[in-house]
């Protein structure tokens, strides 16, 4: 596990540099103090039980700043960016415009005086993860060794956040591309420490438990074995890692990446498994950019669980809204109104197209 250099920004947010040669300078900006009151709440939709995060302060977040004002580039003077350092390899900092309150009372459900209007307060964690100090870089452009460092950084963050009582789920993800709403061009991902279990996680765990009750085996192990046996949608198969297009892909580009050994989270990977996972992850992302010979907008979404979770298997979902060289998929009436996805591409076609560009 790497040991980062730790510091605080001008408004007391935490910042960590990993594998740093230069160390942290002083953030000399005159930032407003963070509100001691919760800036976000979580409401429960009485029609579905789903939680909705209400985060009005985010309306003011930084929006497509000009390159010379990039808040994620290194800033040796500590006067213009979020990262007061001459350079860095990987930097992690608390988000200035968090989707979840990070100061204030611990998370708790407010007593349900009215079951139709349940609002929950409390803290979570929102981190920005800068993959590289190169403003024009991307995850796919990282060296093998730098991508491996990223696996370590995610594992380190996961371990630290899982140790907190108020965090139910640690979500490492990357939004890439203006087409899906990214407002900062500098290559970066995010980590959310949700104070509740998200619906997707609850769905996966519930389905896995039902599968175990019915079939006596692990759902995710079974899916992995089935995709390997079928081969139709298989993309990459190495000693420790497998990547495939899932049987019921929802997106016109979608790949799932599993370690071959059943682990719950990134912390539990051996060094050899982490090496291999980094390489396969790079292979898939490079294939993404090769599909249309230009950067593909994508979302990378990691699923992981505490060691004592009842179910769950570490895996990454990588997917894109691009459905052809010049067209995007939109989540319109069927998806946004009914949660019923339409995919214009068959999973087998998606797999064939990706296999054609995997180096």
Whether 186 has a binding-site annotation, put simply, is: yes
With vertex at residue 89, the alpha carbon angle to CA 87 and CA 90, rounded to the nearest 5 degrees, is 115
Q: Please say if 188 is a catalytic residue.
A: yes
Judged by CB under 8 A, the chain residues 266 through 305 that form the site for its own copies are 299, 301
State the binding string over 129-158 for its own copies (x if CB under 8 A, else -).
------------------------------
Whether 303 has a binding-site annotation, put simply, is: no
Residue appearing with tokens 């081969």 = 231
Choice from 180, 185, 279, 352 touching its own copies (CB under 8 A): 180
In whole angstroms, how far apart are CA 258 and each of 72, 248, 262, 270, 346? 30, 16, 9, 14, 21
Question: Which of the following is catalytic: 146, 188, 256, 303?
Answer: 188
Which candidate, 91, 72, 100, 114, places its Cα nearest to that of 17?
A: 91
Give the SS3 label for residue 327: strand
Are the CB atoms for 245 and 347 separated by under 8 Å?
yes
Choice from 144, 145, 226, 310 touching its own copies (CB under 8 A): 226
Judged by CB under 8 A, the chain residues 302 through 341 that form the site for its own copies are 317, 319, 323-324, 327-334, 336-341
Are the CB atoms for 264 and 305 separated by under 8 Å?
yes
In SS3 terms, 234-270 reads as: EEEECCCEEEECCCCCCCCEEEEEEECCCCCCHHHCC
Pairing of strands 14-18, 5-8: antiparallel
Task: Tell me the closest approach of the beta carbon of residue 356 to its own copies, in angstroms.
Answer: 17
Choice from 12, 203, 209, 310 touching its own copies (CB under 8 A): 203
Judged by CB under 8 A, the chain residues 45 through 84 that form the site for its own copies are 45-56, 58-59, 63
Using the minimum distance from each CB to its own copies, give the nearer residue, 191 or 274: 191
Task: Tell me the closest approach of the beta carbon of residue 211 to its own copies, in angstroms.
Answer: 8
Using the minimum distance from each CB to its own copies, give the nearer residue, 238 or 346: 346
Task: Tell me the closest approach of the beta carbon of residue 217 to its own copies, in angstroms.
Answer: 11
Number of amino acids touching its own copies (CB under 8 A)? 81
List active site positions.
188
């Amino acid at each position: 596990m790497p040991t980062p250099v730790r510091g605080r920004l001008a408004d007391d947010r935490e910042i960590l540099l990993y594998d740093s040669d230069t160390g942290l300078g002083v953030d000399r900006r005159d930032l407003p103090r963070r509100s001691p009151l919760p800036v976000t709440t979580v409401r429960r939709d009485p029609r579905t039980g789903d939680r909705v995060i209400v985060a009005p302060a985010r309306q003011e977040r930084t929006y497509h700043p000009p390159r010379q004002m990039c808040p994620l580039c290194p800033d040796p003077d500590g006067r213009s960016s979020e990262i007061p350092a001459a350079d860095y390899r990987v930097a992690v900092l608390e988000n200035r415009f968090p989707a979840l309150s990070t100061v204030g009372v611990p998370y708790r459900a407010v007593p349900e005086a009215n079951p139709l209007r349940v609002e929950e307060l409390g803290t979570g964690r929102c981190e920005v993860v800068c993959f590289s100090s190169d403003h024009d870089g991307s995850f796919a452009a990282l060296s093998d060794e730098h991508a491996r460092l990223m696996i370590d950084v995610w594992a380190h963050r996961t371990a630290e956040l899982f140790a907190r009582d108020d965090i139910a789920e640690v979500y490492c993800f990357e939004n890439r591309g203006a087409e899906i709403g990214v407002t900062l061009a500098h290559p970066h991902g995010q980590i959310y420490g949700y104070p509740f279990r998200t619906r997707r996680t609850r769905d996966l765990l519930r389905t896995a438990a039902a599968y175990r009750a019915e079939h006596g085996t692990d759902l995710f192990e079974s899916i992995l074995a089935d995709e390997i046996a079928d081969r139709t949608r298989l993309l990459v198969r190495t000693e420790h890692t497998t990547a495939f297009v899932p049987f019921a892909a929802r997106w016109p580009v979608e790949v799932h990446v599993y370690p071959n050994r059943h682990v719950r989270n990134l912390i539990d990977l051996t060094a050899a498994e982490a090496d291999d996972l980094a390489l396969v992850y790079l292979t898939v992302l490079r294939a993404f950019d090769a599909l249309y010979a230009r950067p593909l907008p994508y979302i990378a979404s990691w699923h992981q669980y505490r060691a004592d979770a009842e179910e769950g298997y570490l895996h990454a979902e990588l997917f894109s809204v691009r459905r052809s060289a010049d067209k995007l998929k939109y989540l319109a009436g069927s998806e946004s109104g009914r949660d019923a996805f339409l995919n214009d591409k068959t999973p087998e076609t998606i797999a064939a197209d990706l296999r054609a560009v995997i180096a």
